[in-house]
Structure 1
Amino acid sequence: MSEIQSPVTVSNTQWLEVTLLWVAGVSAAMQFAKFSVSFEALLAHYQQGATLTGMSLSVVGIAGLIFGVSAGMIASRFGYLRVLVGALLLGGVLSFIQSTLPPFNVLLVTRILEGFSQLGVVVAAPTLIAKLSAPQHKSLTMGIWGTFFGVAFAVCGGLGKNILDTHGLGAVFLNHGFLITGMGVILFLVLKNNPVLVLAPVASNQGSVLAQMLRIYQNPRALLPSLVFLFYTCTLVSVLTYVPSLIEDKTLHKSMLVILPLLSTGGTFLAGAIAQYLMRPQRVAFIAYLGVALAGISLLWVADMPWLFAILLGTMVLCLGMIPGASLAMIPTLARNPAEQAQGYGLLAQFGNLGATIGPPSYAALMTLFGLPGIVGLVSLICVFGVLFSLLANRIKASV
């Protein structure tokens, strides 16, 4: 292995650059959100049925599921800024193609390729944010970064829906193309001569790809934050999708569909702030999983009281939202160099896609068989594992 220089540390957080990187993350998450908000329009235009059209939404995650770890290694070898800008520009080209409303098989190909674009951003951008953050702000900036997914869905649910209703399906993709391409150009111009990034080490000559992957999976500094994150991704989408339907009050049910994603996003930012100023992120994750378990079990006792049920459900989702903020903050806290950070984010992306794949069908099956007790039982089991891996991560000495 070639010698790696000590990473350059900034004494003052470069907030403008961090904010631009966060916006780039929002633009990448819109690759999921733009198809979610336009799902009915896609059904009407392509006439492919709900299953195939649904595939066009979920197929973006395949790249992260298969190549998450590899993306971290590639980013560390070729440079995080190159990977980030390339991923954003690729995303722009694919959105421009989608704006022409091509044949459905071509659309599916663009969605598969968008998975690589999205993966490049979620591996490179948080690594760059950590580099540009002063030590006293890293947990806070990771908490901010962790909100990008929820913000993307909120923006697409508001502004994106207005564009869809006013100008049609193609305009949604065209506007996204301009946004994500613009972020790629802006970040290249802003960061290309940044001394922190120019002097940052780039790992090389670390052996075969298989050997590197095995080392990453065996590295608890990368593995444990990803395992903490895995059980969150198994749960959040399923809870947001299935549990609100159990609220009998229709008005309250409709309101919770808006409130719950906002609570999740707020929890992510809150976790970053707590991890920065009050306690280690591992302890934040531990407390969050305990909160999820307690609120979830309490739902069984208030199932026939809609308002109290909604309050406890909101508490559970707020605690769930804290887990990604804590997981993201763990990586720069525990990683010993930028290459290890990138590997951690790559593994996080892979495990996140794994959880998002296995979680919803598992929860759906248990809800069909057992109703609310089935969901609460699985939530409780998942929280046991979340608490366990949070405690194990807490035993690792933080990097200096």
Structure 2
Amino acid sequence: MKNKSWIVTLCAVFSGVSLAVVQNKVSPIMNILMETLNIPMNTAGLLSSIFAMVGILLAIPASSLISKIGVKKSGVLALCMTMVGTLIGVFTTNVTILIVSRLIEGTGVGIIAVLTPSLITMWFPSEKRGLPMGIWGSWMMIAQTIVFLLSGFLSEKWGWQSLWWLGLAFCLLSLVLFVLFVTEPEPEHNYMSKSDEKISTMQAIKSKSSLTLAVGALIFTFCSFSFVSWITLFWSNGTGWEIAYTQKMISLLYFIEIFYAVGIGYVLNKVKNRVNLAIFGYILYGIVGFLCFHTSSPALVMTLIFIYPLFDAMIPSVYWTVAPQTALKPAYAAIAIGTLNIGLNLGTLLSAPISGWFVENFGWVSIGYIFIVLGVIGSLITSRVKFNF
């Protein structure tokens, strides 16, 4: 059972990574899209973040979908919908159609973002959930490492559409692995559903702790996706680095973050008060984010490349791990994960357009101040999270 739980988890995480490649392909080529499609910063930001709108709408329904048709069918549906959206996007230069295709792609992440942590909750008891959730917490970083590492070479050789083909290839491989290896545990070994009681969605979403965690998640992804959307342009302008070189440095940042996320997951299995890590991490995250958008020193930028990912990994790793325990009862764990995803996706949706507007009107320094303010607020909100079981 132990080996099977890890095989299922790793295949499901890879599916999440594949869909995150599709989601994050816009950020490293934002400048190319603005120039090629002749669009302003806020529209380019919308192309990046509109992906999250479907994630918001599907966060709770995805939980019901998984319970009705099962994990395997839900995962296959997620991957197939994303591939359909990608194929539409790759053959158009019309901005409106491209935005619609991003919404279709977002269906996949909306489902998989609930499905994978739900699977982990099914296969692992709460005391052993930290490490697999920490690995799951690295899904975005792995994808960001891949797209920032390859975007310069691919876009220069085959145009911006090459990133769309890359995402499609990942999804096809994930589909094969998902069909072959991903399954739910037997009922007697399922740590999510201990009974056959009927799940009331309206009752489940009344958990104050789940809603509080979702607000904290909104703040985190607003900061995190504001960073990934604009840091390439800011660091290139400030340091004088070529865009391609900056992309490689950001790829290094997210590569480092993968190891931080796994390490934090290991720590989460050892500590009792997991929430304290996020409370502490939020304060330092705000300070480090402030510095990222205030320095033009190549030496300091290189230092931040190693510091920033520690706190960018810490907060979501904690949130994913504790989310099931904020449910009113174990049977409602998937709804709690869905509620968390509403916050994560709403923050993603709002991040690039709003931060892009601030940059255009108040300069790059404004994003740094946003980090400081939201870091304090995020810490205070996280301190209010309580466990129900």
Q: Which moved more, 1:269-278 or 1:363-372?
A: 363-372
Q: Which moved more, 1:125-134 or 1:36-45?
A: 36-45
| Pairing partner for 1:78 from 55, 69, 73 | 69
Aligned mates of 1:295, 1:103 — CA distance in 2: 38
| Pairing partner for 2:261 from 268, 292, 302 | 268
Q: Which moved more, 1:284-293 or 1:248-257?
A: 248-257
Aligned mates of 1:290, 1:276 — CA distance in 2: 23
> What is the 5 A alignment of 1:1-400?
14-37=5-28, 47=37, 49-50=39-40, 55-101=46-92, 105-159=96-150, 162-166=153-157, 172-192=163-183, 195=186, 201=193, 206=199, 212-213=201-202, 215-241=203-229, 245=234, 248-251=238-241, 254=246, 257-295=250-288, 307-308=299-300, 311=303, 314-335=306-327, 339-363=331-355, 374-393=366-385, 395-396=386-387, 399=389
Give the conservation status (yes or no) of the 8 Å contact 2:138–2:313: no
- Which structure 1 segments of 5+ residues have no match? 1-9
Q: 1:60 to 1:363 in 2, by over 3 A?
A: closer
Tell me the amino acid that sits aligned with residue 219 of structure 2: F
Q: CA deviation at 1:96?
A: 3.8
Aligned mates of 2:8, 2:152 — CA distance in 1: 29
Q: CA deviation at 1:367?
A: 5.7
Aligned mates of 1:348, 1:176 — CA distance in 2: 25
Tell me the amino acid that sits aligned with residue 168 of structure 2: G
Q: 1:103 to 1:294 in 2, by over 3 A?
A: closer
Q: Which moved more, 1:370-379 or 1:234-243?
A: 370-379
Q: What is the TM-score with the length of structure 1 in the denominator? A: 0.78
Q: 1:14 to 1:102 in 2, by over 3 A?
A: same
Pairwise CA RMSD of aligned residues? Answer: 3.9
Cross-structure match for 1:5: none
Give the conservation status (yes or no) of the 8 Å contact 1:76–1:342: no
Cross-structure match for 1:6: none
Q: Provide, for residues 100-148 of structure 1, a one-character-per-residue CA deviation record: whole Å limited to 9, x for no partner.
A: 4586654443322111122011111221122223544311111111111
Q: 1:375 to 1:31 in 2, by over 3 A?
A: closer
Q: 1:380 to 1:156 in 2, by over 3 A?
A: closer
Give the conservation status (yes or no) of the 8 Å contact 1:268–1:326: no
Give the conservation status (yes or no) of the 8 Å contact 1:85–1:184: yes
Q: Which moved more, 1:198-207 or 1:92-101?
A: 198-207
Q: Secondary structure at the match of 2:129?
A: helix
Q: CA deviation at 1:21?
A: 0.8
Aligned mates of 2:123, 2:217 — CA distance in 1: 24
Q: Which moved more, 1:314-323 or 1:145-154?
A: 314-323
Cross-structure match for 1:3: none
Q: Secondary structure at the match of 1:218?
A: coil
- Larger of the two Rg values belongs to structure: 1
Aligned mates of 1:97, 1:386 — CA distance in 2: 38
Give the conservation status (yes or no) of the 8 Å contact 1:271–1:323: no
Q: Secondary structure at the match of 1:126?
A: helix
Q: Secondary structure at the match of 1:14?
A: helix
Q: Provide, for residues 145-198 of structure 1, a one-character-per-residue CA deviation record: whole Å limited to 9, x for no partner.
A: 111112112212334654554555555434533431332243223235853699
Tell me the amino acid that sits aligned with residue 67 of structure 1: L
Aligned mates of 2:296, 2:150 — CA distance in 1: 36
Q: CA deviation at 1:28?
A: 0.9
Q: Which moved more, 1:321-330 or 1:355-364?
A: 355-364
Tell me the amino acid that sits aligned with residue 312 of structure 2: L
Q: What is the TM-score with the length of structure 2 in the denominator? A: 0.79
Aligned mates of 2:99, 2:227 — CA distance in 1: 28
Aligned mates of 2:372, 2:93 — CA distance in 1: 45
